[in-house]
Amino acid sequence: MAKEYSLYIKGKAVSVSEDVYKAYWKIIEHEKYLQKKDWKYGIIPFSSLDHDGHFADNIVDESIDVAKIVETQIMIEALRNAISRLNDEERDIIERLYFNDETLRSVAKLKSITHPALIKRRNKILEKLKKFIEEL
């Protein structure tokens, strides 16, 4: 007996194929993922600012330095672009050290190199990233 799949639309169960069911939940899970990323980085959708129909009153916040936020976003994008230009080994080292918070010693052990050798490699990679960013 085949499994039946249903989605609820306006409180009523509607039978759908397995493909439609999976596609629907894939979209829902992706939206949840994006929302979590937004919350993590403090991104607020514009639509959430309209509580009373007066956008300007809801947007103005003198304590927020918009120029600094834009500058930071540009720098983040430049860094992402630079990291994407690294080879797989270099990217792996940077991601482990700076995004996964792994220690130099643990990464050196994983890569089967000495701690000082990893420091030299990391410094060369950082210099390479700096050049990539300066090119932009």
Domain layout of the chain by residue ranges:
1-43, 64-136
CATH number of 64-136: 1.10.10.10
pLDDT at site 53: 54
* Average pLDDT for the chain: 84
Residue 52: pLDDT above 60? no
Instruction: Classify burial at 108, counting beta carbons within 10 Å of its beta carbon; exposed 0-12, middle 13-18, buried 19 or more.
Output: buried
Tokens of 123: 């410094």
Q: Are 13 and 21 in contact (CB under 8 A)?
A: no
Instruction: Fill in the DSSP letter of residue 49.
Output: G
Q: How far apart are CA 81 and CA 62, in angstroms?
A: 31
CB atoms within 10 A of CB 106: 14
Q: Quick one: average pLDDT of 73-86?
A: 89
Q: Quick one: average pLDDT of 10-25?
A: 86
Tokens of 10: 């306006």
Q: How far apart are CA 40 and CA 35, in angstroms?
A: 9
Q: In this predicted model, what pLDDT tens digit does every residue of 56-78 receive, in sequence order?
A: 555 556 677 778 888 888 888 88
Beta-bridge partner residues of 5: 16
